[in-house]
């Protein structure tokens, strides 16, 4: 049977394990995934945009604006005057092809097609086709990070391709707040992050391409012009350090930045809501404090009880040794 010290040791070990488990669980929950920072778009300027253009790709090259348009029979690659929205020059795709995303590699433009499974490489000054590449599946958005071409196909998967041969090198899955994120559309690589329009949403996400994790989740609502369709087209102009967006059939292009949303304070606080929204780490902190308090109170009490029990045991032992309280032998045969 366990004596006082054994009971105390087991009690302390049990409390320690409980406390450690709660802390470990909190740490694992906190580090399980990266929650994307929520931002909103701020408009700084706008210019006219061709409202007949079904925009599929948007890109700046040395301060010049280039655009890819879609729909079979209307797909094109064009250079556009940013200030006026007028088309400076253009080349049409075959009527069976549906133009998609574009990007630059050096002085070459690469343009995807939606379901024709072919990409075209053009000379920027002449729009002459200097190469073409085949691929499996659909083509949506395209960007260049200085090493690889990054391609979307409407799923949650990004493809990394050789910038010279267009051969597939690797893929990565994209997640937003630990959930798979599909419908990645037009792409732009800027300042170490891959920005993507989300098809059918007025949202932009910024993706860490080393992990596929969305680190910025941007609300771009409120900019769509009358008669316009979905947001599609994002491009960074390195000569002016400005970011621009537009959409399918939009009559404007917008120069934007991102800021944190402003949350207006509520006049009356709701205690129940505050309790319900208490962060998990605060709950674990309170839980740990309570356990520690129980530990600090219980151990001295158990030690006192143990000392008293030992004193009683010692007294009994001494009485037995001096023979003063041995039980009677009456009636027992010798």
Domain ranges of the chain: 37-259
Segment 153-181, tens digit of pLDDT? 999 999 999 999 999 999 999 999 999 99
What is the model's pLDDT at position 265? Answer: 67
Give me the residues paired with residue 144 across strands.
149
Best CA proximity match to 203, nearest among 245, 243, 149: 245
What stretches in the chain show pLDDT beneath 50?
Answer: 1-2, 21-30, 269-280, 283, 316-334
* DSSP code string of 164-216: TT--EEEEEE-EETTEE---EEEEEEETTEEEEEETTSSEEEEEETTTTEEEE
d(CA 197, CA 230): 10
What is the model's pLDDT at position 277? Answer: 42
Mean predicted lDDT score pLDDT of the chain: 83
Task: Name the token pair of 71.
Answer: 């729909």
What is the model's pLDDT at position 262? Answer: 81
Per the listing, tokens 């694992």 go with: 28
Segment 245-281, tens digit of pLDDT? 999 999 999 999 999 988 766 665 444 444 444 444 5
Continuous segment of H or E residues that includes residue 99: strand 99-105
Can you identify the CATH homologous superfamily of domain 37-259? YVTN repeat-like/Quinoprotein amine dehydrogenase (2.130.10.10)
> In angstroms, what CA-CA distances link 221 with 21, 30, 79, 90?
44, 30, 27, 30
What is the model's pLDDT at position 333? Answer: 40
Give me the residues paired with residue 163 across strands.
none
> In angstroms, what CA-CA distances link 118 with 113, 158, 170, 265?
6, 17, 19, 53
């Amino acid at each position: 049977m366990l004596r006082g010290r054994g009971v105390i040791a087991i009690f302390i070990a049990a409390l320690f394990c409980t406390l450690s488990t709660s802390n470990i669980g909190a740490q694992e929950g906190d580090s399980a995934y990266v929650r994307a920072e929520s931002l909103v778009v701020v408009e700084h300027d706008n210019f006219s945009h061709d409202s007949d253009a079904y925009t599929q790709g948007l890109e700046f090259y040395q301060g010049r604006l280039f655009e890819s348009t879609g729909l079979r029979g209307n797909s094109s690659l064009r250079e556009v005057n940013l200030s006026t929205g007028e088309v400076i020059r253009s080349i049409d795709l075959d009527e069976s092809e549906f133009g998609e995303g574009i990007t630059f590699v050096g002085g070459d433009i690469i343009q995807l097609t939606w379901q024709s499974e072919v990409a075209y490489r053009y000379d920027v000054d002449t729009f002459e086709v200097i190469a073409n590449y085949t691929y499996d599946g659909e083509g949506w958005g395209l960007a260049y990070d200085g090493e690889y071409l990054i391609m979307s196909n409407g799923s949650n998967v990004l493809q990394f391709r050789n910038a010279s041969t267009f051969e597939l090198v690797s893929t990565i899955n994209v997640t937003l707040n630990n959930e798979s994120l599909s419908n990645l559309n037009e792409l732009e690589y800027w300042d170490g992050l891959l920005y993507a329009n989300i098809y059918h949403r007025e949202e932009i996400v910024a993706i860490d391409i080393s992990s596929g994790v969305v680190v910025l989740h941007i609300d771009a609502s409120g900019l769509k012009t009358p008669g316009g369709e979905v947001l599609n087209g994002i491009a960074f102009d390195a000569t002016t350090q400005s970011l621009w967006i537009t959409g399918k059939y939009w009559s404007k292009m917008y120069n934007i930045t991102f800021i944190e949303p402003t949350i207006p304070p509520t006049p009356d606080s709701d205690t129940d809501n505050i309790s319900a929204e208490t962060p998990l780490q605060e709950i674990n902190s309170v839980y740990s404090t309570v356990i520690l308090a129980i530990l600090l109170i219980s151990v001295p009490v158990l030690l006192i009880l143990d000392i008293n029990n030992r004193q009683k045991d010692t007294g009994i032992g001494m009485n037995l040794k001096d023979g003063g309280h041995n039980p009677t032998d009456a009636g027992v045969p010798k």
